[in-house]
């Protein structure tokens, strides 16, 4: 009977319990917390309640939840924020995290995420705004509370983006901008924030595997250049070296695989030429060729 108490209990349950019975999650927690998160009042108290509800929802895990129980509400929450900027930055990131995790069970959500809610555009904008709020010459311990919060938000966005590339296989014209923003964060965090840096590398690696992301997107977004820079670093650890190697193996495979459609195959060959011409100009061709051959693959020119 006490809706506020029920919402508080649902938040505590989702945030503090590792295992959740499916029925309890779908029929009580998600419905209750989506109702709280849908409150559009502008008071600080309501914003805090909405933030906590979305924080708990994003922690609900990979349980299959039917679209009819969440889709309209979470869409409206995201769309309303895009128009009115009513959510806190943390709440907005967690709303997206909850939405994208649902892709694990329902791939049809990709149309909503890409074409209606524009995840590529929105995550790019959030990363660019957050980047401006952080002094990247400081390490995490030296930062103010506000800066530290922004860094944690960037980490959250990078994890969500990695999940997006892993689960969403739909072509998106916003990929180039998003990849460019990831590259900016990668370079900024390289020397003083290992967690964000690693998430950036993993996100770019996931993008290279995703067939909806064209190799040309990776080239234009600066990902190929950034990964080449990583390979040249003398302090590169084993985990990152493996991810960089995997990136070029995936790029190599994709540039060699013929497309069934003649126009698409012509585009592939054109991109392949562009990649090699750019590598020759930058002096990277031998480095990449040797790296990929080391992995028993041959990076053959057109």
- pLDDT one-digit tens code per residue, 206-249: 999 999 999 999 999 999 999 988 887 767 788 888 898 889 88
Length of the chain: 302
Query: How many angstroms separate the CA atoms of 108 and 116, rounded?
Result: 13
CATH code for the structural domain at 125-302: 1.25.10
pLDDT at 20: 61
**Which residue stretches of the chain have pLDDT < 70?**
1, 17-26, 234, 259-265, 268, 275-302
pLDDT at 127: 97
Query: How many angstroms separate the CA atoms of 170 and 211, rounded?
Result: 8
Which of 95-111 are b and which e, b meaning 16 or more Cβ less than 10 Å from the residue's Cβ?
A: bbbbbbbbbeeeeebbe
Query: How many angstroms separate the CA atoms of 104 and 62, rounded?
Result: 7
pLDDT at 202: 95
pLDDT at 121: 97
pLDDT at 29: 86
pTM: 0.86
pLDDT at 251: 86
Query: How many angstroms separate the CA atoms of 25 and 61, rounded?
Result: 10
pLDDT at 301: 42
pLDDT at 297: 42
- Between the alpha carbon of residue 148 and those of residues 118, 162, 265, the distances in Å are 27, 21, 46
pLDDT at 139: 84
pLDDT at 276: 66
């Amino acid at each position: 009977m006490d809706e506020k108490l029920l919402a508080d209990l649902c938040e505590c349950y989702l945030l503090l319990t590792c295992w959740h019975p499916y029925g309890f999650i779908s029929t009580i927690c998600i419905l209750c917390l989506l109702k709280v998160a849908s409150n559009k009042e502008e008071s600080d108290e309501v914003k805090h309640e909405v933030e906590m509800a979305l924080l708990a929802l994003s922690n609900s895990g990979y349980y299959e939840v039917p679209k009819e129980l969440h889709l309209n509400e979470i869409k409206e929450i995201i769309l309303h924020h895009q128009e009115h900027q009513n959510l806190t930055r943390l709440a907005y990131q967690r709303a997206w995290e909850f939405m994208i995790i649902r892709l694990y069970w329902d791939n049809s959500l990709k149309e909503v995420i890409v074409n209606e809610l524009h995840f590529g555009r929105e995550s790019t904008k959030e990363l660019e705004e957050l980047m401006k709020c952080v002094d990247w010459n400081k390490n995490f311990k030296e930062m103010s509370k506000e800066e530290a919060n922004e860094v944690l938000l960037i980490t959250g966005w990078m994890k969500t983006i990695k999940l997006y590339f892993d689960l969403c296989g739909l072509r998106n014209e916003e990929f180039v901008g998003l990849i460019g923003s990831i590259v900016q964060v990668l370079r900024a965090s390289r020397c003083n924030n290992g967690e964000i840096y690693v998430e950036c590398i993993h996100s770019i690696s996931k993008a290279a595997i995703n067939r909806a992301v064209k190799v040309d997107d990776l080239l234009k977004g600066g990902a190929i250049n950034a990964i080449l820079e990583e390979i040249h670093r003398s302090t590169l650890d084993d985990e990152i070296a493996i991810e960089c190697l995997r990136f070029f193996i995936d790029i190599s495979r994709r540039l060699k695989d013929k497309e069934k459609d003649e126009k698409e195959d012509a585009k592939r060959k054109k991109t392949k030429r562009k990649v090699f011409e750019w590598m020759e100009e930058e002096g990277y061709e031998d480095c990449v060729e040797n790296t990929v051959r080391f992995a028993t693959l041959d990076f053959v020119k057109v």
